[in-house]
A and B are shown apart, each in its own frame.
Chain A
Amino acid sequence: MYVYDEFDWAFLEQRISEFRDQVRRRLAGELTEDEFKLLRLLNGVYLQLHAYMLRIGIPYGTLSSTQLRALAHVARRYDRGYGHFTTRQNIQFHWIKLEELPDAMAYLGRARLHGIQTSGNSIRNVTTDQWAGVAPDEIEDPRIWAEVVRQHTTLHPEFSFLPRKFKIAITAAAHDRAAIKIHDISLRLYRNGGETGFEVGVGGGLGRIPYLAQTIKSFLPKRHLLSYIEAILRVYNQYGRRDNIHKARIKILVHQIGVDKFAEEVEEEWQAIKDGPLALDAAAVAEVAARFRYPQYEKLDDNPEALISARLRDRGFAAWFRNSVNRHKVAGYAIVTLSLKPEGGTPGDATAEQMDAIADLADRYSCGEIRVGHEQNLVLPHVRQRDLPELWAALDEIGVAVPNVGLVSDIIACPGLDYCSLANARSIPVAQELTRRFRDLDVARNLGRLHINISGCINACGHHHVGHIGILGVEKNGEEYYQVTIGGRADEQAQLGTLIGPAVPYGEVADVVEDIAAAYLELRQRPEELFIDTVKRLGVEPFKERVYAARQSG
């Protein structure tokens, strides 16, 4: 956890009071809707199909139990009793009233939560690995750098009115759990000889024209992190397109002028500022690092008796353990993922009761800490292995112990046409139907790791381009149709999926996914060959044949 100091807190109070004044001026007619729109967006407030939506950032995916309870309270008091965790370490409330927004924000503010820059053409919530600080494969805690960047980019006087939204993600592990390659700036912290620094990529992003980030600096010493980001943003702010919203992301600029030319422009700007006031002083970074609180771990052994016997005794527990529990960097501890993907549920939704219960369980079993990942699941990051059987029973009781993490029914989906004014088609009912089709966990386990991502429109909030199976809702003559891609992935081997053929109507999407799954089972060389590897080996053709042959005969 990062603990706010008095400056962070004073700033947030001032921001909340400013927003209260902006809402007052809007309600009094002093601000037009067009003027107010950008101000509310910079505070995470959208106007959706039925109501205002409030998006709250969860910086680098770390929540305290107190903060989770505050979210539960807002869900209950100002919304309809639930919240929706997104693919960018945010939570959304979809039924907020404008007049009540300032109070909801003030309440959240007391728990050090806010919606600043969770929308609008600004630098968004900086995301990172949901296992940061506990993953065995990381070289250091990336959240310290995420926090440094978060502070620097908060209400930045130069970059609050960019051509388009701007997303930054950081990983410090061998395995990329933060999907950095689909971000406007990707930062990979790694060790280069004796020194650690960043590989900096730029121009990743999904949407209408998807690209993966390309490296423009193979090694950036930590000291220069802020000045280099500033240089990238300064080039983008001046030269990014503003005439067409679909061509305004930095990825388009990078591709229009070429990545080498772009890198040159950044380099030139960077040389002018790199040794100025943005150069990071080790002591300043240490000040931020010192405000991160880490648990006092007990000295424990791996595989305690309680765990071994529970695995032998209880098949349900054993299945959950294999699926949802991961190795922790400290012996005797484990990382536990809580699936927010129950059969027939909305991916990423949690009720106020679940949030409260998870907060209590975090206090009892996880040093009061919860994490949120881009797969729209929650994590308890510091669980003693000996407590796992007890924790499992408690999680099962509140419906978040379905052992489907990383499997076919662990679907990532945007809110789609059920809520969103941008959507062309529904996402949630498609996800719900798929969880019913693949409700049999033996079937799901046999299919192995398989990520399905669903977006209700080309804006790609469900990251469909990087789903092993990606589903994109489009509109055709007033009806909902879905394009299907396969072979995408968002990890360190990031890849954009390939379209398998013409879009299919709403009623056939789940059949198509079943056909793809069946084709995979026939085509894989051995059970250990993952779906994504079979697609890589064979290409889309055999899958396409299977899907469209079935459509014609059916």
Chain B
Amino acid sequence: MPLVKAGRIVEDRYVRWLGDAPVPEGAAVIVPDGRLIADASLLRRDAPTGVIWPNNRKVSELAPYVDRLALIALVFPVFKDGRAYSQARIVREQYGFGGELRATGQVLRDQFLFMLRAGFDAFEVTKDADAAAFAETIRRYSVFYQPTGDGRRTVWNTRLQRARAAAPAVKEGMLQGT
């Protein structure tokens, strides 16, 4: 399963550490939610630690750890289960998480842009062909209506700016509209 970051297929430096075995020193690992909650001392290791957080567990439980986590992986068990989009925005926009936010599960081409806009910056892409088409796919749209944490300029901002630059014209338009 190719990992895409910053628009390119890259090697995954993290190891998924799913069993009960002790976490190796110095290795970048991703542990399950239960392991993190049970043993927060993992976060004091000398290597990056990530967590894979299920989409049916309240993301507020993750809040206390966000500052010390290097990676959060959120799950799309099937692509039509969209809970992780909300989790992603909360983690990024409300908890201020600045590490790697990884989409995992069924991650397909037609959802890349939604995921990017929700704050994901790493993608475990299900199909090779989709991973190869990543850069092209995310350029498909140039117009966005919703402000999200990705900071893209919205149509609303652009319109407002233009209206302020040409104030008299807008005034005229408003009369028609009211």
- Residues on A lying within 8 angstroms of B by beta carbon are 5, 7-8, 10-11, 14, 17-18, 22, 30, 35, 38-39, 121, 144, 151-152, 154-162, 234, 237-238, 242, 272, 276-278, 281, 283-284, 286-287, 289-294
Smallest beta-carbon distance A187→chain B, Å: 19
A256, B176: Cα distance in complex, Å: 47
B44 proximal to A (CB < 8 A): no
Identify which of residues 87-137 in chain B touch chain A, using a CB-to-CB cut-off of 8 Å.
87, 89-90, 94, 108, 110-111, 113-118, 129
Residue on A with the closest CB to B110? A39
Question: Contact: A161 with B174, CB < 8 Å?
Answer: no
Assembly CA distance A14 to B155 (angstroms): 15
A-B contact pairs, 21 of them (CB 8 A): A7-B155, A8-B143, A8-B155, A11-B141, A11-B155, A35-B79, A155-B114, A156-B146, A158-B85, A158-B146, A160-B82, A234-B90, A237-B83, A237-B86, A238-B59, A276-B147, A284-B160, A286-B163, A290-B176, A293-B176, A294-B177
Measured CA separation A154–B117 after assembly (Å): 14
Flag whether B156 is at the interface (Cβ < 8 A): yes
Pairwise interchain contact B143-A290, C-beta atoms closer than 8 A: no
Q: Which of A10, A159, A289 contacts B142 (CB 8 A)?
A: A10
**CB pair A30 B129 closer than 8 Å:** yes
- How many B residues touch the partner, as a band? 35 or more
Q: Is B170 an interface residue (CB 8 A)?
A: yes
On whether the beta carbons of A157 and B147 are closer than 8 Å, the reply is no
User: Could you tell me if A287 and B170 are in contact, using CB atoms closer than 8 angstroms?
Assistant: yes
**In the complex, what's the smallest C-beta–C-beta distance from B59 to chain A, in angstroms?**
8
Is A35 within 8 A of B156, CB to CB?
no
Task: Kindly list chain A residues whose C-beta atoms are within 8 Å of the C-beta of B177.
Answer: 144, 286, 289-292, 294
CB pair B110 A151 closer than 8 Å: no
The answer for the CA separation of A156 and B148 in the assembled complex, in Å, is 10
A7 in contact with B173 given A157-B148, A237-B82, A242-B81 (CB within 8 Å): no
- Compute how far the CA of A210 lies from the CA of B159 in the bound complex, rounded to whole angstroms: 41
A2 vs B127: C-alpha distance when bound (angstroms): 41
Q: With A18-B140, A157-B148, A284-B159 given, name 10 new contacts (CB 8 A).
A: A11-B143, A121-B80, A156-B146, A158-B85, A158-B86, A234-B90, A238-B83, A291-B173, A291-B177, A293-B176
**Are A289 and B178 closer than 8 Å at their CB atoms?**
yes
Closest 3 A/B residue pairs (Cβ): A161-B82, A157-B117, A290-B173
The chain A residue sitting closest to B163, CB to CB, is A287
How many Å lie between the Cα of A272 and that of B129 in the bound state?
39
Which residue of B147, B158, B174 is within 8 Å of A278 (Cβ)? Answer: B147
Task: Say whether, besides A159-B82, A287-B159, A35 and B108 are in contact (CB < 8 Å).
Answer: yes
When C-beta atoms are compared, the residue in chain A nearest to B83 turns out to be A238
Cα–Cα distance between A158 and B113 once the two chains are bound (Å): 11
Instruction: Pick the residue among A17, A22, A234, A289 that contacts B174 (CB under 8 A).
Output: A289
Across-interface contacts of A276 in B (CB, < 8 A)? 147
- Which of A10, A11, A238, A283 is within 8 Å of B86, CB to CB? A238
Q: Which of B79, B80, B85 contacts A237 (CB 8 A)?
A: B85
